[in-house]
A and B are shown apart, each in its own frame.
Chain A
Amino acid sequence: MRSRGQRGHALLELAVSAAVMVSCLAGTVQFGYTFYIYNQLVTAVGNGGRYAAMRTYRAATPRDLEKGKAAIRNMVVYGDARPELNAPRQVANLNPEQVQVEWVLDESNRPAAVNVGIADYTVDAVFGIFHFTGRPAVEYPYLGRFAPAESER
């Protein structure tokens, strides 16, 4: 039979070791999940950037420009410029409004490059929350067809 003192010791040891272990486990889950999500964001933004670089630039009206940007945002979020209703997202809880698309225009107002990035994204990693603002982001040279007089369908 164990004495009272020994029972107390065991309880104290369990409390200390459990606190250390739970902290380590929480940190592992928190950072592991956050890194997993960030890696997915990098891949999604990279794919969206490549799509944007090749896409025809149509700018008959400001609405056409917005439609083009919406297609690029959809590519980042859904992996498809025209996603089906309820299409699965590439990254959990990422919405098209959280993706920023900016054209870098040259002196003749033609697109020279395109910037695609995440404007603001929050990772809820159970034990903690991380915010990513303005990252990840990519810049690709614009290589698509320049058609300023054409309209988007």
Chain B
Amino acid sequence: MRARQTANEQGFVLIAMSVALLVMLGVMGLAFDFGRIYIARNEAQVFTDAAAMSAASKLDGTDAGLERARQAVARLPMRWNLGTKSFTGVVVEFSADRKRWEQRPQAAAGMGFARVTAPDNQVEITFLRAIGGPDAFTVPAHSVAAAKPVRLVE
């Protein structure tokens, strides 16, 4: 006897494949997109750690010291996104007490802390956006270093 596909059976593979593809996109998103996000976060943190220590090492209570601190951060050759992109929009701030932070302090004397923030590290999302995730994910990082002695404090 020749069996026929019923109306219920027709299109089952299409539905099953669609569901499986969505699940697969989710798994790929977890591996690919989250993988890149974690790497970018780690790269940004390592950069701000080095940058904050570089900046703090230049602080000597003078305006020239503040300028040297900014230049030291700008000169760092480190990159992110698997080592392919330069850090942009990096903010260098100074403080005497770790409460009030200023990019251009009026008085350089007493500035004993440097804070470096890398705010613009935007990772483009590839797979998770197909199942409702965002188009991009920003992974900012910041570090604070003290000048005497030079060490990371945050």
Contacts and interface: CB of A to CB of B under 8 A. Distances in A.
B27 A28 contact: yes
Contacts of A113: 54
Contact of B39 (A35, A50, A139, A143): A35
A143 B31 contact: no
B83 A136 contact: yes
A35 B27 contact: no
Given A1-B3, A24-B28, A43-B42, A36 B20 contact: no
A138 B46 contact: yes
B37 to A, nearest CB: 10
Which of A6, A43, A45, A141 has the most chain B CB atoms closer than 10 A to its own CB?
Answer: A141
B82 interface: yes
Nearest to A136: B83
A29 B13 CA distance: 26
A93 interface: no
A39 B150 contact: no
Contact of B1 (A1, A28, A43): A1
A139 B83 CA distance: 13
Contacts of B3: 1-3, 6
B46 A141 contact: no
Nearest to B54: A141
Interface in A105-153: 113, 115, 132, 134-141, 143
Interface string B34-69: 011011001101110110011001000000000000
B57 A42 contact: no
B13 to A, nearest CB: 5
A17 B17 CA distance: 7
Nearest to B27: A28
B91 interface: no
17 contacts: A3-B3, A6-B3, A17-B20, A24-B27, A25-B24, A35-B31, A36-B35, A39-B38, A42-B43, A43-B46, A46-B50, A49-B46, A135-B82, A137-B83, A139-B50, A141-B53, A143-B53
Interface of A: 1-3, 6, 13, 17, 20-21, 24-25, 27-29, 31-32, 35-36, 38-39, 42-43, 45-46, 49-50, 53, 113, 115, 132, 134-141, 143
Given A21-B20, A141-B57, 17 more contacts: A1-B2, A24-B28, A28-B31, A31-B32, A32-B32, A35-B31, A35-B35, A38-B39, A39-B38, A46-B42, A46-B49, A132-B83, A135-B83, A139-B50, A139-B76, A140-B54, A141-B54
